[in-house]
Structure 1
Amino acid sequence: MMYFNHALRKLAVVASLVLSVSGCAPNPQDDIPLFKTFIAENIDKVSEDPYISSTVRPGDALYRFFVQLQHGRVKEEVYEPLKGGDSESKLWYAKLSLPYNELRGEVYQFLTESMQAGNPYAALELSEQGEFCQRYGKGSARSKLFNKMGLSTIYESDVCDEAYFELAVEGFEKLAQQGDLRAQYFFLKQKNWDQSTETRAEYIQEIIRFAEAHYYQPLMDYVGTILFYSKEENKDISNTQEQHELAIKLLTIASNNNYIPAIYKLYFATINKDEKEKLINKSFVLGDIRMIKYQLFKEQGGSPEQYYYNAIIKELSGHYLFSPEKSGKEPDVQLQAEKFAESIRSSVYIDGFTDSGDWN
């Protein structure tokens, strides 16, 4: 049984999304002048607001949940209350439960309930682009396994349908018209403006517009096209020195506005020791548990410094990264870690489009 009007199957929205672009493939080197004014006006601005680029702020619905999710605290006491919440809460309960085969029926239930309540992210999750479809839909490895085992998969014929994507598009269209930047970026990606020299400048201007509103995921996606990991060199590289410098400047702007993914990427892209130290301090204050873990593994095993980082991780995530060794200094170090953890003002970078592998 489908949970929305059959007429939605005939929506022509999807067809109108994809812009047919022509012309030569763009050269990223030509992008550099397009960013010149934006960089000049923003490179030296440093925000003191820890939440300026945060998806949600303290006091907002689900702020505490998103912070705990980023910190790796996803035990029952964290996400169980989501089951009784609104469509957004149900969506996140479903997304958290996706890896568990035994919960697939419950996941499907909550996704459909969230979708019925008008949440386009839930509809997208059930479409061919969604993780639920890819994990459990018809033709998936799990679906074939369940069928061999004689287990019921009554919903498999009701997911991965194009109509789910059409419904998601309709929902995102409403959000975009209301000024939702994430929904607007969803549509920008469908247009493929970045793939042609004829529309490349418009694409860059949109990336800049999002960044000026402190929504930095589009900028990060762009940086990923000019600064990418080389297995041979074991570091991020660019095709030209000018593109590398552009990437550093764009990451610096996002980092100056407390966007955690940019701080993390910039740390590994810069070689200046003083700058690295500043980035470490900034990321710690914003509660980036990935950076804290990284620093922990750099310390000598059993050292007070390593225990300090381990204790901070325990305060944030609810568990030590590894069982700490006992030492005479442990009580003092533990107290310092607890005090520091209390001072953290966590910025949130997760949204409905964030892949589960990038949550923490």
Structure 2
Amino acid sequence: MKINNRLIYKTLFTLIGIVILSIGGFMAYLMTPSGFQSRQAEGPKVLTELLEMAQESQPFNPDPYISSTYRPGDPLYEPVLAIQRERWDIAKKLLQPLVEQGNADAMYWLAHISGGSIYAGKEIARLFRKSAELGNPYAALRLDVSSEDCSLYLRGYCDPKWGKLGRKLLQERAEKGDKKAEYYLLQYDENSSEEVHKELERLVTENAKNHYYQPLIRMMIDYNSQSYLTYFQKSKELSNKKRKLISEIALLAVNNNFPPAMYNIFYNMSDVYEDNVLSKIINQCIKLTSRSITCAEYNIDKPNRTRHDILIGAAYSYMTDIINHGTNKYSKLTIFKSYMNRKGVEALNSDENSEVISMAKEMLEKMTPVIYIDEMNPRP
């Protein structure tokens, strides 16, 4: 039998050509930005109403709880504050009576902190189910098969029906004017058009008007990290103009006492602000939250620091230790002192240590703790 080499080569080259064209087409598809990505690439300049709101805002809103998920007096304020402070022992005791009274939100939070064991899944699922059946969409979504929980300790307890119920409950809330629900409902829209991005912009703005700033901070982080953009749309560094706009919008949340916005500034944009602005933010941060060691360490890093600045940072760290009642293996004050040592700052003497303790107790008395975690952002 005579082999037709010419035909074999022709067929081989044809197949190679098809493969190359297929790969090329696929790469072209990946490199071509969607409408959503193109709108994202324009940067925060499109957020005109948010920019106006930010420019009109002043530091700091006289209502310390303006952005708090719960306010003092709300049955959930103390237990959720304890969760935010990672004092689950306190939170469980406070939540249990509310759960027994049929409080769906309390059931959600108790379920959230009932992990820690492979045998806990059954009870967690029971609480989430009950909360969902009572109308909590966020509890239902925790039982959806796409939930992170379902690949961990809730494996075997999840079902697509809970995801459908969660989205249905979000839709019902959205139809009644709940902008937060409407925002999270949009996250399930797989359409990547420019119109979806514009809708996202609208909902971020509407939620900011209601002093719910999680969507705003999420969007600022996405702009800063250039999330959603194609490889060829990304730049090594954001332009100064874009960074300035991001920082201006972030101040809207800062001026309205939202701690995560303050953390974000010190982690990602501290070089954009004047030192006097950063100092004011730090002082406000100390009044609102005991979570961020960054706020304390800034008192070491700030230009032209004084010894009093060091004492304030140490006192803030010790105040956090008072709140935690020594439940953490490594105290914040120990971490702060270690940072002092690394920065070549003279150690505190005995008189200064006594002053730090006194200052910390005074800080604690003046605190107006803000709760910034919520059902869709439950981790501090």
TM-score, length basis structure 1? 0.75
Letter in 1 for 2:287: V
Q: Which residue of 2 aligns with 1:174?
A: 172
1:202 corresponds to which of 199, 202, 205 = 199
| 1:65 matches 2:74 | no
Q: Counterpart in 1 of 2:262?
A: 263
Larger Cα-atom Rg = 2
Amino acid at match of 2:73: G
Q: Pairwise mapping of residues 279-318 of structure 1 onto structure 2 (< 5 A)?
A: 279-291=281-293, 294-295=296-297, 307-318=314-325
Alignment CA distance shift 1:216-1:238 (3 Å): farther
2:214 is aligned to 217
Specify every segment of 5 or more residues in structure 2 that has no aligned partner in the other structure, as ranges: 1-32, 228-235, 302-306, 335-347
Which residue in 1 is equivalent to 2:372?
349
Indicate conservation of the 8 Å contact 1:260/1:288, yes or no.
Answer: no
Measured in 1, the distance between the counterparts of 2:39 and 2:190 equals 15
**1:275 alignment partner, one of 274, 277, 285:** 277
Amino acid at match of 1:242: K
Q: 1:202 to 1:79 in 2, by over 3 A?
A: same
Give the direction of change, closer, same or farther, for the CA distance of 1:125–1:260 in structure 2 (3 Å limit). same
In the TM superposition, 1:1-360 aligns within 5 A as 23=35, 25-46=37-58, 47-74=61-88, 76-84=89-97, 85=99, 86-138=103-155, 156=156, 159-192=157-190, 195-228=192-225, 238-268=237-267, 269-271=269-271, 272-291=274-293, 294-295=296-297, 307-319=314-326, 321-322=330-331, 327-356=350-379, 359=380
Query: 1:101 aligns to what SS in structure 2?
Result: coil
Structure 1, residues 153-211: CA drift from partner, whole Å, max 9, x if none? xxx2xx23111101111222222223323211111222356x32344333322221221
Cα pair 1:210 1:218 within 8 Å, conserved: yes
Which amino acid is the alignment partner of residue 219 of structure 1?
L
Aligned amino acid, residue 228 of structure 1: S
Instruction: Tell me by how many angstroms 1:270 deviates.
Output: 2.1
Structure-2 separation of matches of 1:105 and 1:290? 34
Q: CA deviation at 1:95?
A: 0.7
Q: Which has the higher contact order (CA 8 A, sep 6+)?
A: 1
Aligned identity (percent) is 24
Aligned residues: 308
Deviations along 1:278-333, whole A, 9 cap, x unmatched? Answer: 11111111124214675299599xx8566523320123222264386993544443
The answer (yes or no) to whether the contact 1:26–1:196 under 8 Å persists in 2 is no
CA RMSD, Structure 1 to Structure 2 (Å)? 3.1
Contact 2:182 2:203 in 1 (8 A): no
